[in-house]
Copies of this chain bind each other. A is one copy, B any other.
């Protein structure tokens, strides 16, 4: 096994779920597990991209379920990449390519660690999905129909990495998501000379959007009603290095950036389109204007309730829903949390950063609710704050990848202790 080379082979496969790609990636990882002596199979369900399930049964009393996803975000805009997103290269100690951070790198680091362990001290189950990046539209039904297969004592989430403080990160929850596309139409494009009297969907969209948010605050009535703001205790576990995060994001940040990233729900414009966007000028009144919006939700906001509020606010506007995920938080006193914290400290030599819920989203709540498991936590990941996940030039440090493998081994040993 050549660990980095194998990851590169995996990352070469375009598994952009937003474009319906993934099948080839699923087969690759199934084959990879089988070649290394792990029982594995493809499970077809309602998703276009299949699930991959694997198992190492050592006859132990406790079982860890490892969740990862093999799909990736679209690589566009391609001209911003310094190398082909689907032909990963190693440069200056970094591996660059789509998915090396989110989530193929963590998937492979954990898998290779367990393969290297030979016989781990507890039972391991693997579940890999192929539509996390489009909001895991079918995960609930899949889990409900595979409750026994996935029965476990602990769930290890998809993988974080090092935070902006440099310390390894443990995350005990996720934000939720509501992803919508709103659009305004008229019958046809018109010459812009009719602008004194004609409706312009682009203007209508601008006014609608500016009504949604101002001064950093979402203006939908009741939007913040169910937000569980962090307690003083939870805030104490937050770390985060402002300078390093600013470098990573290429922007100046407020001092309370870490609290806000964890605690605040958002309304983000992810895309805008209307009319003529090419070179030069076209004097047209567009017949169509569209915005893609993602709302990151925090415990205990409910995406269905937020959607209802949005529909009431945007009466008569076409709203297409592209994704809904509920937020979730687990306890910092759980066995899985303690095992992650102890093993992290052992491997990295520093106290880990513990985050009540991630800045991002995943179907963690579905696992908790459907599998009736409240020991779900994230750790053992390969990313760093400059990994540019979901953006261009996505990358991880090769050293971080190797360290994650060590952490995985130590974590499993801690977790297996009675």
The verdict on A391 contacting B194 (CB below 8 Å), with A74-B278, A209-B206, A271-B274 known, is no
When chains A and B are docked, how far (Å) is the Cα of A203 from the Cα of B214?
Answer: 9
Oligomer copy total: 2
Q: What sequence of 0s and 1s flags, for each residue 80-107 of chain A, a beta carbon within 8 Å of any chain B beta carbon?
A: 1000000000000000000000000000
A290 within 8 A of B: yes
A366 within 8 A of B: no
User: Which B residues are in CB contact (< 8 Å) with A187?
Assistant: 249-251
Contacts from A to B (Cβ < 8 Å): 18-19, 73-74, 76-77, 80, 134-135, 175, 177, 179, 186-200, 202-203, 205-207, 209-210, 213-214, 249-251, 253-254, 257, 260-261, 263-264, 266-286, 289-292, 294, 296, 322-323, 358-361, 388-392
List 23 A-B pairs, Cβ < 8 Å.
A18-B281, A73-B282, A74-B276, A76-B278, A135-B281, A179-B283, A190-B249, A190-B391, A192-B266, A193-B360, A194-B249, A195-B294, A196-B263, A197-B254, A202-B270, A202-B271, A202-B291, A206-B206, A206-B269, A270-B284, A271-B277, A271-B286, A283-B294
Q: Are A274 and B272 in contact (CB under 8 A)?
A: yes
When chains A and B are docked, how far (Å) is the Cα of A135 from the Cα of B214?
Answer: 37
When chains A and B are docked, how far (Å) is the Cα of A134 from the Cα of B323?
Answer: 41
When chains A and B are docked, how far (Å) is the Cα of A277 from the Cα of B183?
Answer: 12
When chains A and B are docked, how far (Å) is the Cα of A202 from the Cα of B291?
Answer: 10
Residue of B nearest to A18 (CB): B280
Residue of B nearest to A388 (CB): B188
Q: Are A272 and B275 in contact (CB under 8 A)?
A: yes
A277: contacting residue among B199, B207, B292, B359, CB under 8 A: B292
Q: Are A294 and B270 in contact (CB under 8 A)?
A: no
When chains A and B are docked, how far (Å) is the Cα of A175 from the Cα of B359?
Answer: 51
When chains A and B are docked, how far (Å) is the Cα of A200 from the Cα of B87?
Answer: 30
User: Which B residues are in CB contact (< 8 Å) with A361?
Assistant: 193, 283
Q: Are B273 and A277 in contact (CB under 8 A)?
A: yes
Q: Are A279 and B18 in contact (CB under 8 A)?
A: yes
